Amino acid sequence: MRLRSVIAPSMREAMRRVREDFGEDAIIVSAEETGNGVLIMAATERPEAPSADPQEKDEVTAEPTLREPRDPAPQTPAEMPAGKPSPIRSTATAVERCIDFHGLPRPVAADLTAIVRSANGGPETDVLGLALDRMVGFSPIDVAATVHPLMMIGDAGAGKTVTLAKLATEARLAGRDVAAITADTARSGGMEQLAAFMGAIGADLWPLDRPDDLGRLVAMAKPGSLVLIDTPAVNPLDCESFPLRAQLGGSIEPVLVMAAGSQADDAAEAAAAAREVFGVRRLIATRFDTSHRFGAVIAAARLGRISIAGLSASRRIAEPVRPAAPEALAALMLNQIASRPDA
């Protein structure tokens, strides 16, 4: 792990320098005001780049979690050795096996399989990505440009607070002011932990004790700030009792945060309820690192009629919410099959 300090006249300038030096993987260890400006201590797990040697072959580094797996160029039928199966058929079989593994509800799996069978071959990631693109919507959140406050909504343990912290970090690295509001003040240690993190990145944090105060707190944010709202867990079977339901009729966008490893039918029902009761249009799927089967994400988006906005593969705040794309989700699904030969 590399560690270094950055001092600059302002938090924005310090964050800009951290981003230039360490990129998106930077971990903010500490931040404090000094007599000379803002001092940030940052770290990254990225190793130093090796010096180029024309005599050595290029080394292949370990690929990030969300990168597409590499596939060999498909052969045409004329190039296939005698007795070998068609690459198109082979690809479709592999993708169908992947669909079956991830535990999708039967109607969704059938529709996805039908699209795969109609494809004209190609790398498995492309074929599955094409099918996903036709089945569900993808609508990433641009934290640098989003003008509406974003409210994280989800069941207990879905990762709402971590997701909020990741979005806040991305916005600060993009040079944007951030204001966070938390209504989850009863959870032990949650408020203190979030307050410490927001202070480290130079973002405001305000507790929300009464639902009626939400509008006033949103209005307190600096002009142009990204406003992020954390909420208590909501029971997906009883959305009507959510205490902030009445505050969602204005400009605030509710974003459903759900664990990728949820049971698919339950996830679909929760997504449909969130859309009907809260007006949710986008979801962020989390905990890809602690799950093997991701059918819940597709089921929630397809049956709940909600677009997938982001994919979070780690609880590490330094690893951002990746903008959702069909190829990225396809890669995650196929990587599970590749790592489990018996699946």
Tell me what pLDDT residue 5 has: 65
Lowest mean pLDDT among 107-116, 194-203, 282-291, 324-333: 194-203
Q: What is the pLDDT of residues 241-267, one digit of tens each?
A: 888 888 887 789 999 999 999 999 999
Closest to 24 measured CA to CA, from 303, 338, 322: 322
- pLDDT (0 to 100) of residue 245: 86
- pLDDT tier at 34, thresholds 50, 70, 90: low
Which two structure tokens, joined as six digits, stand for 114?
Answer: 């039908």
Query: Into how many domains does the chain fold?
Result: 2
Determine, yes or no, domain membership for 93: no
Percent of the chain with pLDDT over 70: 75
Lowest mean pLDDT segment, chosen from 60-69, 123-132, 137-146, 300-309: 60-69
- Return the pLDDT at 215: 93
Write down the H helix ranges in 24-175.
87-101, 106-118, 124-135, 160-173
Which residues partner with 253 through β-bridges? 150
The pLDDT value recorded for residue 196 is 87
In a domain, 81, yes or no: no
* 39/169 same-domain check: no
pLDDT confidence band for 75 (50 / 70 / 90): very low
Q: Is residue 159 part of a domain?
A: yes
- Rg from Cα positions in the chain: 22
Q: What's the whole-number average pLDDT of the chain?
A: 82
Q: What is the CATH number of the domain that holds 267?
A: 3.40.50.300
Higher per-residue pLDDT: 106 or 66? 106
Give 284-339 pLDDT, tens digit per residue. Answer: 999 999 999 999 999 999 999 999 999 999 988 888 999 999 999 999 999 998 87
Q: How confident is the model at residue 78 (pLDDT cuts 50, 70, 90)?
A: very low
In angstroms, rounded to a whole number, what is the distance separating the alpha carbons of residues 186 and 37?
35
> How far is Cα 149 from Cα 208, in angstroms, rounded to an integer?
15
Q: What does the pLDDT read at residue 246?
A: 83
First to last CA, the chain: 35
Quote the pLDDT of residue 48.
44
Q: For 66-70, 136-140, 294-298, which range has the lowest pLDDT when averaged over its residues?
A: 66-70
Q: Does 82 score more than 60 pLDDT?
A: no
**Whole-number Cα distances in Å, 17 to 11, 139, 144, 175:** 10, 29, 17, 11
101: left (phi over 0), alpha (psi -120 to 50) or beta: alpha
Confirm whether 194 is domain-assigned: yes
Angle at the Cα of 42 from the Cα atoms of 37 and 45, rounded to 5 degrees:
165
Q: Is 74 part of a structural domain of the chain?
A: no
Mean pLDDT confidence for 57-64? 33
Residue 76 in domain: no
Tell me the one-letter amino acid at 73.
A
- Asked if the structure places residue 272 within a domain, the reply is yes
**pLDDT reported for residue 27:** 63
What's the distance, CA 23 to chain centroid? 18
Q: What is the pLDDT of residue 189?
A: 66
What pLDDT is stored for residue 64 in this prediction? 36
pLDDT of residue 341: 63
Label residue 46 exposed, middle or buried (CB < 10 Å: 0-12, 13-18, 19+). middle
For residues 32 and 196, the model is more confident at 196
H or E element in which residue 268 lies: helix 264-278
Burial of residue 13 (number of CB atoms within 10 Å: 0-12, 13-18, 19+): middle
Q: Are both 184 and 315 inside the same structural domain?
A: yes
Q: How far apart are CA 70 and CA 49, in angstroms?
A: 22
- Domain co-membership, 31 together with 154: no
On whether residue 180 sits in a domain, the answer given is yes
Tens of pLDDT, residue by residue over 175-187, are: 999 999 999 877 6
* Rounded alpha-carbon distances, angstroms, from residue 264 to 3, 160, 257, 267, 277: 42, 19, 15, 5, 20
The residue with greater pLDDT, 37 or 71, is 37
Range of the domain at 22: 2-44
Among 163-172, 226-235, 243-252, 260-269, the least confident range: 243-252
Q: Is the pLDDT confidence value at 77 over 70?
A: no
Site of tokens 């440009």: 145
SS3 of residue 221 by DSSP:
coil
pLDDT band for 137, please (50, 70, 90 cuts): very high
